[in-house]
Amino acid sequence: MTIHGGQAPDPAYGAVMPPIYQTSTYAQTTPGGHKGFEYSRTHNPTRQALEKNLAHIEHGAFGLAFASGLAAMDAVMKLLKPSDEVIATDDLYGGSYRLFTKIFEPYGIHFRFVPMQSTEKVAQQITPKTKLLWVETPTNPMMNVIDITAMANLAKHHKLLLAVDNTFASPYLQQPLTMGADIVMHSATKYLAGHSDVVLGALITNDASLAERLSFIQNASGAVPGPFDSFLTLRGIKTLHVRMERHCQNAATIAQYLAHHPKIESVNWPGFDHHPNHTIAQAQMKDFGAMLSFVPKGANHQTAIALVEKLKLFTLAESLGGVESLAGHPASMTHASIPKDLREKSGVVDALIRLSVGIEDVQDLIEDLEQAIG
């Protein structure tokens, strides 16, 4: 699927990779007489190949590509009307929180942030105005795992839409549509494209009427990716399964190394038996992913920053999911837009360090951590 989905050899010359159709418009023989493509905001053959591929890999019928993950989320929010309510994961990607509270809250859409590991807590927050459950799992950066099937049952019972941000897991590890989600969202910038060289977003659904409304929004609002970015993402997806296997192996080794290190206080990774959501992770994920976070013993804001600055092989950077390992300090980087009290309530303390484990030689990565932890 990752290699062939949506990509037959190009009919014009047999090109094995879909060509980069770097064009904004298409010749017509007579007004309206065209080959299915009129204008590239609406349709572009390279983007279309990617959209079909995205649908395949998530076991969906319809895929839609956007200029970024946040542009994809923006399109989902535009399904809603003023006074509608959304229940979202409390431990949410910082940019998602900012989009919800700073852009859509002023338009009259109300958000409730709930620790969704508890299905009961979510159920308690549902009101007649609730229209959408927004789930992110595993969460960022605390690595909580939310039971997608339980959320889907709750959504069906109350006639709500369920959208799942599947960025951290990737479709290699979990496919939310098969567990009852209505919409899957991706920041393809991360594992799907996988090489830290493109910003792109995606939505996938099985529901034809949702797909129609979302593609109307995609065209009407216009946040589409260009043909070259679509091509890069297609190329990245071809190796998703091989990369993810290695990502997960490396992360498991590093999680164990950190857990046994005398200078490390705690490690958040869903693969541990003692992780509070380990059983759910085992049931709904093929493996435990390559994101983890940890707190060094006795660390504070300054010493955590000093540690990440000492890393040489791990690059200090925002983002995740590329072949190269990255380290970050959520409190001052990815999660700086979330108020400190709210941040700390979900465990994102000032001493927390986040790793996106890449596919390098794992021994090299451990040596790098060893010299930085000291």
Ligand X SMILES: *Cc1c(COP(=O)(O)O)cnc(C)c1O
Phi, psi of 33 (to 5 degrees): -90, 95
The catalytic position among 47, 190, 243, 343 is 190
> Residue 129, exposed/middle/buried by CB under 10 A (0-12, 13-18, 19+)?
exposed
Q: Minimal CA–CA distance to 176: which of 233, 117, 135?
A: 135
Active site residue 191: no
Residue ranges in 229-288 that form contacts with ligand X under rule CB under 6 A: none
Stretch that binds ligand X, among 80-88, 160-168, 298-306, 342-350 (CB under 6 A): 160-168
Report yes or no: 186 and 72 within 8 Å, Cβ to Cβ. yes
Task: Based on the shown chain and the rule CB under 6 A, indicate whether residue 117 belongs to the binding site for ligand X.
Answer: no
Residue nearer to ligand X on the CB measure, 154 or 291: 291
Q: How far is the CB of 71 from ligand X (least distance, A)?
A: 7
- How many residues make contact with ligand X (CB under 6 A)? 16
The interface region with ligand X, picked from 14-22, 83-91, 101-109, 182-190 by CB under 6 A, is 182-190
Q: Which of 2, 44, 89, 187 binds ligand X (CB under 6 A)?
A: 187
Nearer to ligand X, 140 or 250 (CB): 140
- 10 Å Cβ neighbour count for 181? 27
Tell me how far apart the terminal alpha carbons of the chain are, to the nearest angstrom.
44
Quick check: is 243 catalytic? Answer: no
By CB under 6 A, residue 329 contacts ligand X:
no
Could you tell me which of 68, 44, 60 has the C-alpha nearest to residue 5? 60
Q: In which element (H, E) is residue 119 found?
A: helix 119-125
136 forms part of the interface with ligand X (CB under 6 A): yes
By CB under 6 A, residue 167 contacts ligand X: yes
Instruction: Tell me if 190 contacts ligand X by CB under 6 A.
Output: yes
Biggest distance spanned by C-alpha atoms of the chain: 74
**CB 221 within 8 Å of CB 69:** no
Catalytic residue status for 93: yes
- Catalytic one among 91, 165, 350, 368? 165
Of 98, 103, 128, give the one whose Cα is nearest residue 113: 98
For residue 99, the minimal CB distance to ligand X (Å) is 9
CA distances from 29 to 23, 34, 226, 230 (A): 17, 7, 25, 28
CB of 180 to ligand X, least distance (A): 20
Catalytic residue among 21, 93, 97, 191: 93
Instruction: Indicate if 172 belongs to the active site.
Output: no
Q: What's the closest the beta carbon of residue 203 comes to ligand X, in angstroms?
A: 12
Scored b (16 or more CB within 10 A) or e, 203-214 reads: bbbbbeebbeeb
CA distances from 373 to 255, 260, 324 (A): 14, 13, 20
Using Cβ positions, the residue closest to ligand X within the complex turns out to be 69
Q: Binding string, 61-80, against ligand X, x = CB under 6 A?
A: -------xxx----------
Give residues in contact with ligand X (CB under 6 A). Answer: 68-70, 93, 95-96, 136, 140, 165, 167-168, 187, 189-190, 199, 201
Tell me which residues are annotated as active site: 41, 93, 165, 190
